[in-house]
Chain A
Amino acid sequence: MDWSQHYPAFIQNCPSVTQSAAEAELPSEALLAESPKRVEIADIGCGFGGLLFALAPLMSSTLILGLEIRTSVTEFVQEKIKALRTQNAGNAFAYQNVSCIRANTMKFLPNFFEKAQLSKIFLCFPDPHFKARKHKARIVSQQLNSEYAYVLRPGGIVYTITDVEDLHDWMVEHFDAHPSFARVSEEGDECVRVMTTETEEGKKVERNGGQKFVALFIRLDDPPWPSD
């Protein structure tokens, strides 16, 4: 996966240190290069990018990735990123730390992120899939929570928000039941404010006078292997 296409200001397209050491003679400076920066924040189902664009300036040296399954919506976000980068080219902050990919995260999350890579995952206003037979298509489930635990580092946080109380209860139940997660308070986390007010969905909910339900979960350490 060539991340330099997404974050050119942060990641140069160069072979990894170990590969170059094995295959080519390189000056010693290359061997001392820092390990390449990696995405740390993922917005799963980023939609039109509201959260991405609001978070980006608050964490300007952290790489943030939006994942969206709809191709046209992804293209919209990618175009907007391009435009913001161009418009802000001379400024201190130029939206270089944010990008968007078209992806089906339910199936391919581990293809994009390595073990314990992320520090934050956002699940904002996921599709509620009201019908009971569609519940298995919900973005939070016992099985998928193991994948979120895999890509999230211990101490990392999952942020969830929805205006559908039933879905909120579902997400809380499933994360609570998963041994790798524990619920934590929303207090004192700047990202909660951003998540609550800055997404398109969030703003629609405000206009309609609906309620928003927030829940945060911390990724716990893996248990030691069982000893017989």
Chain B
Amino acid sequence: MSSFLQELTEGKIDFVGQQQVELISRVWLIGSTILSFVLGFAAQNLQVTFGFFGVSTLLLALIVLPPWPMFNRHPTQWLAVRSKSD
């Protein structure tokens, strides 16, 4: 039970998944910053800016934070245990 909880809160993903998550979050955040500025400036309304930014950040959190199976498609290939050799 406790190891299940531990796995749940750890939310591990493999190395390729980590690279994907980093790329996704960087592109998404910078893109949504620029887009929310442009939208708010066009509407001359600050609520549009921060509303759009907030919603897009929540969506990003849904995509990037949980350990989805798509980020676990390349599990690390560990070498076999080497017996002690003298």
Same complex: no
Chain A residues close to B by CB (< 8 Å): none
Chain B residues close to A by CB (< 8 Å): none
